[in-house]
Structure 1
Amino acid sequence: MKNEEIKAVSNLPAPKRYEYFIKKVADFEEVWGLFEDGWAISEDENGSPLFPFWPKKEFANLCAIHEWNGYRPKKIDLEEFIEEWLPGMDADGIRPSIFWNNTDSAVLETHTLKLDLEEELNNY
């Protein structure tokens, strides 16, 4: 990816970054998280756990700073993400945090993310 594209997409509002995430994840059939002896986790303003995900390695890598310094982007197969990760997160009460850009992200329920991904995949 070109630096200009990375910067332009990272600066989009969270809802637009979410749309970008859905399209790119469906295109490439992969989701990215940050990993170092365990997956990077954050929390919302109420202290509820959030699991951050990105559409491309380059975006995840930009967030490997501060408390995630030393973490590295790690790929998750989209089918595994939909079939295993999302139900597991739902059972554990962890919501997805989509496309954190070191400022904000789109936070939603796992079932909404699953429906949006499946709807986009139906376009292929």
Structure 2
Amino acid sequence: MNEKEFYSVIKLPATKRYEYFIKKVVDWEEVWGLYQDGWAMTKDDNGNLLIPFWPRKEFAQYCAIGEWEGYTPELIELDKFLNEWLPGIKKDGYKPSIFWNNYDSAVMEVEVLLQDLKRELDNY
């Protein structure tokens, strides 16, 4: 990915970044998180715990600043994300924060994210 493409994607509205996330994680069969002695987490305005995910290593690395300084991008295989991560997140009462860009993200219910990913997988 070149720099121009990177910055054009990172500046998209959260809903468009979410659509990009769905297509790209299915294409590449990978999801990225940030890790340092535990996975990066944050809270929404209501105090709900969120776990951020990105479609590419470069986007995750871009967000390893502030409270996540020193965190490194970690790969999660799509199959593991679908079958282990999302059920675990739901059980723990967390929500996925999709494609944070240091400004905003698409915060989704686990069921919606799972449904959207499965729908995209049906295209293959």
Instruction: Provide the C-alpha distance between the structure 2 equivalents of 1:15 and 1:60, rounded to a whole number of angstroms.
Output: 18
Distance in 2 between residues matched to 1:4 and 1:32, nearest whole Å: 21
Q: CA deviation at 1:12?
A: 0.2
In structure 1, the gaps of 5 or more residues are none
**CA deviation profile, 1:20-57 (whole Å, cap 9, x unmatched):** 00000000000000001110001100111000000000
CA separation in 2, counterparts of 1:73 and 1:4? 21
1:116 is paired with a residue of what secondary structure?
Answer: helix
For normalisation by structure 1, the TM-score amounts to: 0.99
Give per-residue Cα distances to partners, 1:76-101, cap 9 Å, x unaligned.
00000000000000011000000000
Q: Which residue of 2 aligns with 1:108?
A: 108
Q: Give the corresponding residue for 2:51.
A: 51
Matched, 1:14 2:28: no
Identity %: 61
Unaligned regions of 5+ residues in structure 2, if any? Answer: none
Runs of 4+ in 1 over 4 A off after TM superposition: none
> What number of residue pairs does the alignment pair up?
124
Name the residue aligned to 1:99: 99
Q: Which residue is 1:78 aligned to?
A: 78
In structure 2, the partner of 1:64 is 64
Find the counterpart in structure 1 of residue 42 from structure 2: 42
SS at match of 1:51: strand
Report the Cα offset of residue 18 of structure 1.
Answer: 0.2
| CA distance in 1: counterparts of 2:35 and 2:2, whole angstroms | 24
In 2, the alpha carbon distance for the partners of 1:66 and 1:14 equals: 20
Compute the displacement of 1:123 (Å). Answer: 0.3
- Report SS of the residue matched to 1:73: strand
CA deviation after TM superposition for structure 1 residue 113, in Å: 0.3
Q: In structure 2, what is the equivalent of residue 4 of structure 1?
A: 4
**How far apart are the structure 2 equivalents of 1:111 and 1:87?**
9
RMSD: 0.4
